A and B are shown apart, each in its own frame.
Chain A
Amino acid sequence: MSKVFARQSKRIGWIYVYHDTFPNPVSFKTLHSLVRAFGGFSELDVIILTGVGKSFLSGANISDMLNFDYKDAWEFSALNELLSNTIKQCKAITIAAINGYCFGGANDIALACDMRVAGKDALFGHTGANIGILTGWGGTYLLPKAIGTKKAYELFFSKKRLTAQEALDLNLINRVFDSAHFYSEVNQFAKGCLQRVKKGRALLNAIRAI
């Protein structure tokens, strides 16, 4: 069962996703909760999305998806699009703080955020093809934009897993932080972004429109 916790610290909102099954699979309920959480924090300056435990998020829960038909798959994908649009419409800078495993659709959710930071132990992969599907959460558009078409196809085709350093080298993420002090470093990073860009919102909208 998944739960989404939200907490606010001054102008920074933290959204934590917890699931009692590793590696934090995303269900319909999780997506609805994330939409509500991002919507609720929309007026803050920074929103940080992270996972609880050894995983940021993974894609959908495979046992739930096994019996999906076309209509279920369509709705699941549409709900994620709603989440991506909600993230995009936030007035806050959105940061995906990737604390561990980040597989499948989790990459797409992270790519919907303005920035991505990861702990040294984070692992990335887009292995949907391995289970007979492709990403339905924007990855075929967002991943090539972030790392280039050839590298993106290589990730889909090779089922390769990337370390945080490899993800950084590919520009998939913006920073790598020490896993032991991950959350305090993310907090510092977020505060740094706020100090540097005073006219944050107007500039953010312009950047998102590129």
Chain B
Amino acid sequence: MDKNELWCGTVENFDNCSGSVALIKIENDPDVSEAEKFISLTGTSLKTVVLYIKGKRSLPTLLCMGKVDLIYLDENAEFFITQNQIDDINIRFLSVLSSFINRYILTDMIYTGRIISGYDAVKLGIANSITCYPNIVNRIKKQSENLPFALKLLKKISSINNSLSEADARFVERMAFAFTFCSSDQKEGMSAFLEKRRPEFKGK
């Protein structure tokens, strides 16, 4: 079972991740093959994956952003797709990119080379916010302590629901909601709420 703790690392060593929350710092674009491996790992993982991105980043970093949960940016972060990288874009990559970038913006990036600033990325919902690295480490460290089982479930069903119709997504959510009532964390969370104390989740 995962420990409820923060693991800090890079895209390249994500497969060694221990802990239920992973904070990945990207300062240089990874190889496209590393990005592909990262997408498949994060796409199936129950861990909460957080990216912190610095500087001017292109296609491989954009791909890494597709399946993660939270994205924080350095104030100088920018995103673009180079002309050379356009040939690398296949249907699978397009589906990853269009899962978090509005298709009109994506078309603009591909056809005109539009550069998206960090501030625009936040405004467009591509990233969560702009902050400095030490701040984000402290914030995520605090939030990753004491994570309930429900959050792992939520991550999984959010990614499934993304590709379902509303009726199917509601059915999946209802099953997951009912399932949390079989967890010890539900009893602990609600008891703690009523007793006005901090819950002690076991993650199961």
Q: Give A contacts to B, CB under 8 Å.
A: 62-63, 65-66, 68-74, 77-78, 81, 84, 128-136, 138-142, 144, 147-154, 156-159
Indicate whether B45 reaches chain A with its CB closer than 8 angstroms: no
Chain A residue numbers with a CB within 8 Å of B4 are none
Residue of B nearest to A139 (CB): B173
Contact with A along B155-196 (1 / 0, CB 8 A): 101100110101001100111111111110111111111100
Chain B residue numbers with a CB within 8 Å of A153 are 48, 69-70, 155, 158
Distance from B136 Cβ to chain A, minimum over Cβ atoms (Å): 12
Q: Is the CB of A133 within 8 A of B150?
A: yes
Distance from B127 Cβ to chain A, minimum over Cβ atoms (Å): 7
The majority secondary structure among interface residues of chain B is helix
Chain B contact residues (Cβ within 8 angstroms of A): what range? 35 or more
Residue of A nearest to B175 (CB): A74
The 8 Å CB contact of A77, one of B99, B169, B178, is B178
Q: Given the complex of chains A and B, what is the CA–CA distance between A82 and B147 in angstroms?
A: 31
The majority secondary structure among interface residues of chain A is helix
7 A-B contacts (beta carbon < 8 Å): A84-B170, A128-B150, A131-B189, A132-B187, A132-B189, A140-B157, A153-B69
Known contacts A62-B190, A73-B181: does B99 contact A149 (CB below 8 Å)? yes
Q: Is the CB of A70 within 8 A of B162?
A: no
Q: Is the CB of B182 within 8 A of A129?
A: no
Chain B residue numbers with a CB within 8 Å of A141 are 161, 164, 166, 169-170, 173
Chain A residue numbers with a CB within 8 Å of B161 are 140-141, 144
Distance from A105 Cβ to chain B, minimum over Cβ atoms (Å): 10
Q: Is the CB of A134 within 8 A of B69?
A: no
The 8 Å CB contact of A150, one of B127, B147, B188, is B127
Indicate whether B126 reaches chain A with its CB closer than 8 angstroms: yes
Distance from A141 Cβ to chain B, minimum over Cβ atoms (Å): 4
Distance from B138 Cβ to chain A, minimum over Cβ atoms (Å): 13
Q: Is the CB of B179 within 8 A of A70?
A: yes
Q: Is the CB of A62 within 8 A of B193?
A: yes
Residue of A nearest to B71 (CB): A150
Q: Given the complex of chains A and B, what is the CA–CA distance between A175 and B150 in angstroms?
A: 32
Q: Given the complex of chains A and B, what is the CA–CA distance between A129 and B173 in angstroms?
A: 14
